[in-house]
Amino acid sequence: MNILQLSKSLHRGGVEDHILTLSKGLVKRGNTVFVASDNLCERKAFDSCGIDVIQIDFLKKNPLAVIRNVRKLKKAICENHIDVIHCHWRICAFYIEWMRKLRMTNVPYIWTNHLLKIGSGKLLRLNTFIGSKAVAVSTECKRMLMQRYGIAEGEIELVYNGIAVQKYVKNPEEYNRKVREKYHIEEAFVITMLCRLEPIKNHTCMLRALNCLANQGGLKNVKCIFTGTGADAYKEQLVRKAGELGVGENVIFSGQVDPVDILSITDVMVLPSDFEGFPVSVLEAFAMKVPVIRTRTGGYKDVGEYCLDMDFNNHEQLAEHIRKIMTKQIFLDEMVEQGYQFIQDCCTDEVMTQKIENIYRESLV
């Protein structure tokens, strides 16, 4: 099949990682994949895999940009003999649906909803199109589509995000020692927030939890790594807050990292987010056999038995979980092994790709 993946952006994040993993898997299975997007920050990752990337200005809403987008999409569909289109954002599906209504294309399409919280006003509901099938990345996302949008259960497929599990193997101790030296971690207990630097990830809750640990006398042995990139203003806000709470020396801003490098030296991964769809970082931690503490956001119902849960913004609860892990008052070996097995059974890139490829083929019938 010739497959066109549509995304409104290709900045570094969970959706973009999903599209890259899926595209590579589809190519491996003998398909030809094209990607069209607006922001092309991560274009190199696709270019290195031989996947053509086309720029479409999905983020621009003025009439001239819309007309240009339609022309570019029609050209991409026709010239590349596209068999099926996969829309990863609502705006992308909106374009394809109206092109079909105007008889500018008859190529079938599907829509994946990656988010638990999306606008659901009357106008948005009327302009939300799923094509042949909607794909939800978690049980909560599927339920939301049914309840808020009235999409029938039979029109929604649940397909978890997948990762290339074969690359998630802990590094040798000598290599880990060098990574620790790089971040001046030495023998500290390491907490990692493996996510973008954005307010919805709730880094402030982690800073307050570190302050609680300081009051319990154990902070000198703790380092917390904030990975990823984001707005400079938000990072500066976190630096100030860490200073105010007296935990500045215990926080490391690593920037973009190889998750294997960081998770190889991590004692616990924390995700105190306000909302999620189905966080890939949790899957990565499972694959690396790293314990996870997370809020009960999107994906929790699917993996909750393999995590320690926490209430949103409850930094005292988060600190208590960490303290018990540090002092070995709780042992998570069985939970970690179960999470690892869940990944092997349900969330590999091969499992995800095969399920989505089957949905494509059904749409062609």
In percent, how much of the chain has pLDDT > 70?
Answer: 97
Averaged over 149-170, what is the pLDDT? 94
Residue 104 pLDDT: 96
Residue 281 pLDDT: 93
Tokens standing for 105?
């294309």
* Residue 44 predicted with pLDDT over 80: no
* Residue 40 predicted with pLDDT over 70: no
When pLDDT is cut at 50, 70 and 90, the band that residue 12 belongs to is low
Residue with the two structure tokens 């993996």: 303
In sign, the C-alpha dihedral spanning 240, 202, 312, 214 is negative
* Residue 311 predicted with pLDDT over 90: yes
Residue 343 pLDDT: 95
Residues 6+ apart with CB under 8 A from 53: 10, 34, 35, 36, 37, 40, 43, 46, 47
When pLDDT is cut at 50, 70 and 90, the band that residue 139 belongs to is very high
Residue 41 pLDDT: 64
Averaged over 17-39, what is the pLDDT? 91
Question: How many residues are present in the chain?
Answer: 365
Residue 353 pLDDT: 97
pLDDT of 254-265, one tens digit each?
998 999 999 999
Q: Report the C-alpha gap between 70 and 40 in whole angstroms.
A: 19
Residue 193 pLDDT: 97
* Residue 42 predicted with pLDDT over 70: no
Averaged over 304-320, what is the pLDDT? 95
**Which CATH class name applies to 165-346?**
alpha beta
Residues 6+ apart with CB under 8 A from 123: none
Averaged over 300-324, what is the pLDDT? 95
- The string over 264-281, giving b where at least 16 C-beta atoms fall within 10 Å of a residue's C-beta and e elsewhere, is bbbbbbbbbbeebbbbbb
CB of 310 closer than 8 Å to CB of 293: yes
Pairing type for strands 292-295 and 268-271 reads parallel
Mapped to the 3 state alphabet, what secondary structure does the chain carry? CEEEEECCECCCCHHHHHHHHHHHHHHHCCCEEEEEECECCCHHHHHCCCCEEEECCCCCCCHHHHHHHHHHHHHHHHHCCCCEEEECCHHHHHHHHHHHHCCCCCCCEEEEECCCCCCCCHHHHHCCCCECCEEECCHHHHHHHHHHHCCCHHHEEECCCCECHHHCCCCCHHHHHHHHHHCCCCCCEEEEECCCECHHHCHHHHHHHHHHHHHCCCHHHEEEEEECCECHHHHHHHHHHHHHCCCHHHEEEEECCCHHHHHCCCCEEEECCCCCCCCHHHHHHHHCCCCEEEECCCCHHHHHHHCEEECCCCHHHHHHHHHHHHCCCCCCHHHHHHHHHHHHHHCEHHHHHHHHHHHHHHHHC
pLDDT of 354-364, one tens digit each?
999 999 999 99
Q: Report the C-alpha gap between 306 and 165 in whole angstroms.
A: 17
Beta bridge partners of 292: 269
Residue 9 pLDDT: 77
Q: Report the C-alpha gap between 221 and 241 in whole angstroms.
A: 20
Residue 303 pLDDT: 95
* Domain(s) of CATH 3.40.50.2000: residues in the chain: 2-162+348-364, 165-346
Rounded to the nearest integer, the mean pLDDT of the chain is: 92
Residue 338 pLDDT: 97
Residue 336 pLDDT: 96
pLDDT of 318-342, one tens digit each?
999 999 999 888 889 999 999 999 9
In percent, how much of the chain has pLDDT > 90?
Answer: 75
**Which CATH class name applies to 2-162+348-364?**
alpha beta
pLDDT of 80-138, one tens digit each?
999 999 999 999 999 999 999 999 999 999 999 998 877 767 777 778 899 999 999 99
pLDDT of 170-219, one tens digit each?
999 999 999 999 999 988 999 999 998 999 999 999 999 999 998 876 66
Residue 60 pLDDT: 84
